[in-house]
Every structure is written in C-alpha cells, then in structure tokens.
Structure 1
Amino acid sequence: MTTIKRAAKATALLAALYCSRRYYRNWGATKAESQMRLPGDALVRDPAIQTTEAVYIDAPVAAVLPEVLRTCQLASGFSKSDELPDIAVGDTLHVGFPAKMGRHHTLRFTVVEMVPDSHIVLSLAEPGLAGNAVVSFHLQPHWEDRARLLIRARVALRYPGEVFVVELIRPLVSLGARGFLLSVKRRAERSTSSSVSFSA
C-alpha cells in the first residue's frame, strides 16, 4: 500500500511539474521570442532545457545593458552599485544571489560575446560543468525610448536523472530570472527618469 501511495505522489508531482513548466519556462516571452534563434544558441546545440523570459523596459537600449552588468555585479556581492564593471570577451563574470549571514553563492561565467546595445553571451565556467550551460541577454529596441530585454538559457545535461532534478528547481530558477529582469527594469527606468529630470 505504501508503494502505491508513493507512486501516486510521484505521478501527481510529475503532472504538476508538467503543467506548471508550460507557464514558467517562457515567462513573459511570446511564442515567437521563445522559438527564435539568438546569438549564443549554437554553443549548446542540443539542449535538454531551453527557457526564454522577457520584459518591456521604458528606457532606450543604450541604458539597459549597463544595468544588466550592474545587476550582475550586485548579485555577485559588490556594494558599489554605481561603478560599472569593465567587462570584455574572455573575462570571468561571477553571477549569483545573496544567501544567509551576508554570504553570496555565485557561479562563474565566461563572457563569450558582447555587442553594445544588442546582446551579451555568458558560458558557464564551473569545473566539471563548463560548456554545459549558456545564458544570454538580448536587447530589442522599440522606438527610441523603449526596449525589450530577453534572457535565454540553454542547458545540456549528461544524465537522465539530471533532467528531473532541474525540473524540480526550475520554478525557483525562473523566479530568480524574473527578479533579475525586474531589477534591471527598475534600475534602467529610474536612471532614465533621473536623466530626463536633470536635463529639464
């Protein structure tokens, strides 16, 4: 009887994951955006997992990419948020999230490609995982004062069991990515608003 209950719980969990993943794997992105080819996709040719999330930002594209880098900097535990990191292709970028007791958990990425006002492509550089994951940020101008920011993640997994584990944690990853997008949005819009007010 216990085995039947466990099987039923596992089946219910899988069903819930399948239903919810249809929503959070491409949070905020259109069907066309989630299916389009983007710079960086070729680095993981046959991904087990691909997600695309997007948000509109009421700021020109030139104001957004610096805020992407600043937000990465803040997530890595730096406190001087006004200093823009000098990033170039080949550099290592530590991206993570704050944890308890003031510590920060970070993952190391290598900057593979960066085009101003267009996109930045990061490849995971952790030992044993290098090349298995690519995260890229893409900017699309909408008129002069509005931009669309996309995050694309492509992950190649080596073992079938890894897929199940990633599916379990993907809602948290999606929430983190969404929080990142909204943080960039707030910072870019606030910076643009301050610049307009100062000019006036």
Structure 2
Amino acid sequence: MHHHDLEHIADGVVGAAAIASTIIANPLLRAFYRKWGATEHEAHKPLPGDELIASPRMQYTRAISIKAPPAAVWPWLIQIGYERAGWYSYDVLEDMTGAGKFVDGESADRVVDALQTLKVGDQIKLHEHLSYAVRELEAPARMVLFDAREDHSSSWVFVLEDHEVHPDDPDTAAYAGGTRLLVRWRLDYEPSRSNDLMWKAFVEPINFVMERKMLLGLRERAEL
C-alpha cells in the first residue's frame, strides 16, 4: 500500500471520529457549528437564494477567509461535485457513502478546464441519485443551488466577497485582496419527530464535519 493511500485512510479515520464525536456532542455543539467561522452579522444578513426557502426549518451560515481573490477561488468552487472534481473533503468517507466518484479518482488538486463551463440549469450531483440544480451563477460572486423533493427542499448558496480590512483589527490585514466565502444552507421538510431527529441529530452534524473539511480544502487549493 502506498504512503498516499495510507494518508487517505488515516484522514478518513480522523473524519469518522470527528463525525462520531460531533453527533454525540450535538446538543452542546449545534449553536457553534451552525455559524462556524461566521460573524453574527454574516449569520443573519440576507443572502442570494434566501427566497427559495422562505421559511426554513433549519439554516446554517458558515464562512472562511481565503488569501486569494474571488477570481482565483471561483474555478475551484464551480468544479465541485460527484463525477466532477470532488469535494476537497474526506475522500475515503465519500467513497464509503457512494459520493466519491471523481474525475481524478480523488478530490482534484488542479483546476479542471472541462469543468469550468458550469451554467444555470446544470446539475451538481452529491451522489448518483441526488443532485442540486444551479439556479444562479455570477462569476466570481455567487453560486446558488437548489433541490426540491416531495418530502424536503433545500438551498445551498456560496457567496464570494472581497475581504474587508479593518484598521482596528490587524488580523484582517493578511487578507487584503483576498476572499470572504460565505456558505448558507436552508432546509424545509415535513414536520415530524422522526424528521426532526434525522435532520438535526444526524444529517446536520455529519454535514458540518464534511463541509468544514471541504472549505478548508478549498482554501488550501486556492491559496497555492
């Protein structure tokens, strides 16, 4: 077994452990991971796509600062997906859940030219039987994804903003000319105790672990 394969397996073990611990500690962590990385203002301000789920039963807003301009982040963002460039997350876990079929066999470490033609109406698959439709696409500012089903509907929105630099906050100086990436997910579903349990106790914490890793992986690639 190659060293690279061992790294992926070890990474998957870390991811699985993170998922298990997040599910167990969900009641204590939920308020934290629903706005991971985001300020209070970012967590509550209106974003494109909010109108798709007017009264969500669940919502999170996450954010990450990237030392690269939006135009450099954009190509990495629009190529994500199943049968695309991957998720920049825990590839081993993606493989185990059927979401790991990527053009490079693993999450791409390159901008894939053939995947840069994304347009409104295209589908970004999560796995073979689940996908989001591209509802809005404005380079390099926003990508709005939407999925409507009989039992639930959700929007997944990515907004790229020029990173603000505040004179009274020296930490922001490092991100001058960089990107502030906001991610918002909104969900509506048929109310029931079983649905509440599924979405809030299981789907949401799993989503946090995988998406946090994705955002960190996206930043790592864009900053190269």
TM over 0.5: yes
Range with bigger deviation, 44-53 or 138-147: 138-147
The offset of 1:140, in angstroms, is 0.8
> CA separation in 2, counterparts of 1:92 and 1:33?
27
The answer to whether the 8 A contact 1:140-1:149 is kept is yes
- Secondary structure, aligned partner of 2:126: strand
> CA separation in 1, counterparts of 2:140 and 2:216?
18
The offset of 1:95, in angstroms, is 2.9
Determine the structure 1 residue equivalent to 2:161: 140
Matched, 1:154 2:186: yes
Matched, 1:88 2:122: no
What stretches of structure 1 of length at least 5 have no aligned partner? 1-14, 97-104, 191-200
2:150 to 113, 120, 128: 128
The offset of 1:106, in angstroms, is 6.3
1:64 to 73, 92, 95: 73
Matched, 1:77 2:101: yes
Range with bigger deviation, 169-178 or 147-156: 169-178
Q: Show CA shifts across 1:22-75 (max 9, x none).
A: 111111111100001000010000000000111100001101111112333322
Partner amino acid, structure 2, of 1:140:
E
CA distance 1:129–1:116, shift in 2 (3 Å): farther
Q: Which ranges of 4 or more aligned residues in structure 1 deviate by more than 6 Å?
A: none
- Secondary structure, aligned partner of 2:209: helix
The answer to whether the 8 A contact 1:88-1:111 is kept is yes
The answer to whether the 8 A contact 1:55-1:149 is kept is yes
The answer to whether the 8 A contact 1:40-1:134 is kept is yes
Determine the structure 2 residue equivalent to 1:167: 200
Alignment of structure 1 residues 1-200 onto 2, 5 Å = 17-72=26-81, 73-75=84-86, 77-80=101-104, 81=108, 82-84=111-113, 85=115, 86-96=117-127, 107-124=130-147, 128-129=150-151, 132-142=153-163, 145-161=177-193, 162-169=195-202, 170-190=204-224
What stretches of structure 2 of length at least 5 have no aligned partner? 1-23, 87-99, 165-175
> CA separation in 2, counterparts of 1:108 and 1:21?
26
Question: Number of residues paired by the alignment?
Answer: 167
Determine the structure 1 residue equivalent to 2:8: none
Partner amino acid, structure 2, of 1:91:
D
The offset of 1:165, in angstroms, is 1.3
Partner amino acid, structure 2, of 1:79:
V
The answer to whether the 8 A contact 1:58-1:147 is kept is yes
Give the TM-score of the pair, scaled to structure 1: 0.76
- Secondary structure, aligned partner of 1:145: coil
Partner amino acid, structure 2, of 1:135:
W
